[in-house]
Amino acid sequence: MNCGRAPGGDNVSELGLCPAATDDSFTGINSGICGGRFCWAVAGTLCGGEVQGTFAEKRDSCVNCDFYKRVQAEQGTINLRTKFLRFVNPYSQGALFDDLPQEHIRSGERFITQGEARDTAYIIQRGACIELVEKHGMIHPVGHRGEGDIVGMISVLTGEPSTFHVEAETDMDVWTINKARFDATSQNDSDLLTFLTELISDRFDSTRPTADRTIGKYVATDIIGRGGYSIVYKGVHELLRMPVAIKMMRHDMATRPLFLDNFHNEARIIAGLNHENIIRVLDIEERYRTVFIIMEYLEGESLYGMIKRLKSIPPLLAAGFISQVCTALDYAASKGLIHRDINPKNIIVMPGDRIKLIDFGMACPAGTDDLHFGGETVYAAPELFDGEPADERSDIFSLGITAYELLTGEKPFPNVSPLELLKLIKTRDIPDPAQKVKNLPEPLRKSILKACRRNPLERYQNIKEMAEDIAPLLNVMPSHPLNSESSGMKKITLFLDIGNHREAEFDGALAAFNRKVKKLGGHLTIEKE
């Protein structure tokens, strides 16, 4: 609309970026050259030389705008995989639409209310609507549905109360389908049921604000993680107000017996473990056609995130992390379990540099013969690709690759195709990490190289052996415990990059800083690379 407030626009310096171009409720849609395409859903946009109000206030002008009409037309041809009518037309339209009631919904009418349980869904013949999440007293636009879409079907299919309001943007003509008809149709059409459960998973997996969801005794508030078959929410125990993490199996996966069994298996496995370096399972809930694992909420950062942020981890700090993972794996091995998915994403650094090992979704008894080893290729032991059973040594290999990445900031064989990576894993030992890391302590170098031998017989035969080789480095660590909370201390890690020609000046500054720290009762440990 030539407002000049799009990214790079003429009026940005004077008026700022358009809120529609920066609003992250539509992450991935509002960025770049598409900035502002949902301008009608966001308050405070500039149009016709005037700052506009909320969608409700500007609805009449926006839905008659040429830009709105153009986007609406485009949406009739994009995202066809999520168009309900596009799916059913070639298959079961006759059986589904015979005698379905039709309704007319007026522009501006709210026809689905957040939090209400519903037994009716709407299939859009004509017109468009907007989905709005109400949270903390604010309204967030989170979705836009047009011709061919279905709305309200999550409640009908799963029984869960609606997680958003739905309001008509324009006059709408819809078919209505109740739960009894919906269930009868989907039970007789397995392809339709598969499509609908995939659609539910797609709509739940969003970077947009989410409504609070009641899961038994718990309330899920915000999405904090995603995996191939699950979504993780931050939550709280409703009565105790205790923070928790809630891992929900994606609805399309919950219909597959193998994945469902693995999900239950993960809950049973972790519930049977009691170790300070392993995440705890608190509860399990089965409802809304899926399964929720309730776990302790971890205030921390994954090693993956730490590597991205810091590029690499200092050797002595890395040794402390690896040692704690060894302790966790040794405990799991004493219970006869192999993790099978050791990598930086599944290792969380807690306050005080305490480690928590998470995601036992692929865990199995030692000796399991399973070609579907589950983990990322780069961390998988070579023998697993030949169908050899997983055992403690395959976890050791994965930990060795993780340790290499911690220290160097990169994987052993970066920037190669998946096929080439598989070939390198099976035919070449990893590079010497000392080539990348100056003054790498020999015990750490030795442990990584031995852990990553291609031949399992040449590796450590159990995780205790690896821990013992790293142990001498732990004596060099600061004398206060890793869990600084238990000593009443708070630990702060600083990283300084200095030029060699100014090293003496920095040493003097650090010495003065150390004297002040000691006066305050603190302790400063300096580790130079």
Give the span between the Cα atoms of 398 and 332, in whole angstroms.
Answer: 15
Task: Reduce the secondary structure of 94-148 to three states and give it as a string.
Answer: HHHHCCCCEEEECCCCEEECCCCCCCEEEEEEECCEEEEEEECCEEEEEEEECCC
Cβ count within 10 A of residue 400: 27
State how far Cα 444 lies from the chain centre: 31
> In this structure, what DSSP letter does residue 64 have?
T
* Residue entry with tokens 């050797």: 315
Catalytic residue, candidates 149, 212, 341, 469: 341
Give the span between the Cα atoms of 328 and 355, in whole angstroms.
Answer: 9
State how far Cα 434 lies from the chain centre: 33
- Bin 136: left if φ > 0, else alpha if -120 < ψ < 50, else beta: left
**Is residue 149 within a helix (H) or strand (E), and if so which, with residue range?**
none
Give the span between the Cα atoms of 373 and 527, in whole angstroms.
Answer: 39
Task: Based on the residue annotation, tell me whether 386 is a catalytic residue of this protein.
Answer: no
User: Helix or strand or coil: residue 365?
Assistant: strand
Give the span between the Cα atoms of 376 and 359, in whole angstroms.
Answer: 13
Residues forming the active site: 341
